[in-house]
Chain A
């Protein structure tokens, strides 16, 4: 499967080594950290938190599409189940936020293990259809299961206190946690991609039969990547549930799966920063068009078509190609 991506398999000589980033990536990362610190004083923090949660979700998806070449069209399942589990444990068991979010992540990973194990039996377009169908199955499960509250969802989830000490009632305190979770997971994904394990993932993306002939059990690597991706997706969902104090069916709906694909396509699949930019634009469009009814859907459809027809490398991918750098 050869989705147009940028990151070359052979890393160029690096003038310096900062967490394994290329120099352009290091600068971009510093800009990102700067923005994360500066923005809440200018922009409404709740909006920023939503943005960061979706950016994290998009990064998790990018780990699969960008670095293994696996198109999972049902990632909302893991995001949604993470959100439900975090909301439920925080509300019913009174777990502290960090434990609830972690539990959400592990549940996402567990579901990812089962679904991934099934789906990697088929390749390419079938893989996309199977993951979509499995996600739809979990949507119906969430619709009917007693603990999810059906159409109402789980409401009034308390944010609680981090480690049982720091209250997260204020938006700024919550923002600090969300930003921390985002940066940790962002660096985790970066670390995975740039590890020897990540090199094998890229080898599978470029040429799976060759990777097999080199003696790698490619299915195992794909499954591992799938589980890691769904873990981060669950974390993102759980964090979002705590931010808004609610977990609903929109998080598991197939439309959400489509949205995360769109974020990656728009920002640039296979770039580290593309999903963040893509998520930013999509979340911003949604809030800007919130009063315009279904024009949001139409706009997203148009962006899909435009991206596929005109710029398949996405915004960051195109910029990186123009400047001949790796982002």
Chain B
């Protein structure tokens, strides 16, 4: 998408960026040499927090990727993205233990054992269910907003998020449901330099793989080419005979399915609870501001990168770990207001 604006043929060094990095590195080396501060931390602590950071980064990447895809096509910021993430986790939970919630509807209602679907089927089916739900949502509600100011999309999806979270809280309470790690992924794995819980490794690999698939789909296939074209000029693409409204609906469904996929991945790590999405979504907004929504690859890199930054902050300055991403956002706004990968507006 950003390639269309690349006019300069010569490679120009990002002088200010390099200078900023150099200053930070010099300050760090100076601190270490002066002896007033040491960057030494026990290796297990460092690696443990790094792996946790990578996991958070995986979720940031998946969620901001979905936001960017939806924004590119629909021109709305999907505030319901966190709620959809939560719905994905709840769908997985509901598929694993259907008797619990069926009993809430009507006592004694049960399904046979073979219908209690575990983690692996849920990983595929839950995003499909939530994606289909998103498709309906776009067709019935969101599609009415395209002629209006973008802010109304934000307000509408914020309202939708309130509805989903409120309903989930009413039905299941705020305490959260446990979701078991699948047997194949429980226990640690020896990476040679550290032991890492298998599931953490899986989350990073699965999320990274899904990001890669999405990127390939958008950048390298004919469908993706049409999608990019429709993002640039929907009217013209429609004139060529492409069903743009359906493409828009499918884009929303796809973005939402990505969030649901992240939700299923998150279910065994965080307890499945109605608030799990809203605590993520605002941080993801900051990630989106930092990366800029111009490029798919940009949001993936920014997501993982900021997860790592957050993990490192937990090691060195734990009191800043909750706010570090917002502080990075402030710095980026000062130095490069359009975002690291964004086009200047």
Contacts and interface: CB of A to CB of B under 8 A. Distances in A.
Contacts of A305: 141, 156, 159-160, 163
A121 B144 contact: no
A298 B163 contact: yes
7 contacts: A1-B149, A4-B149, A121-B333, A137-B323, A258-B158, A301-B163, A302-B159
A194 B125 CA distance: 57
Given A141-B323, A295-B170, A301 B161 contact: yes
How many interface residues does chain B have, given as a range? 35 or more
Contact of A309 (B77, B141, B149, B329): B141
Interface string B133-153: 000000001001100111110
Contacts of A123: 345
Interface string B69-94: 00000000100000000000000000
A300 interface: yes
A301 B169 CA distance: 14
Interface stretch (A26-34, A84-92, A127-135, A232-240): A127-135
Given A122-B345, A308-B152, A133 B165 contact: no
B330 interface: yes
A261 B161 contact: no
Contact of B155 (A118, A126, A144, A261): A261
A258 B169 CA distance: 18
A143 B38 CA distance: 29
B151 A3 contact: yes
Contact of A71 (B151, B159, B161): B151
Interface residues of A, number: 47
A294 interface: yes
Interface string B277-298: 0100011011011000000000
B101 interface: no
Given A293-B170, A305-B159, A307-B155, 6 more contacts: A122-B337, A128-B154, A130-B289, A132-B285, A133-B329, A301-B163
B292 to A, nearest CB: 9
Contacts of A298: 162-163, 166-167, 170
B43 interface: no
Most buried by B among A137, A293, A295: A137
Contacts of B152: 308, 312
A118 to B, nearest CB: 5
A298 B169 CA distance: 10
B322 interface: yes
B279 to A, nearest CB: 10
A26 B337 CA distance: 44
Contacts of B149: 1-4
Contacts of A128: 77, 151, 154
Contacts of B282: 132-133, 136, 254
Contact of A265 (B155, B165, B323): B155
A136 B287 CA distance: 13
Most buried by A among B154, B158, B278: B158
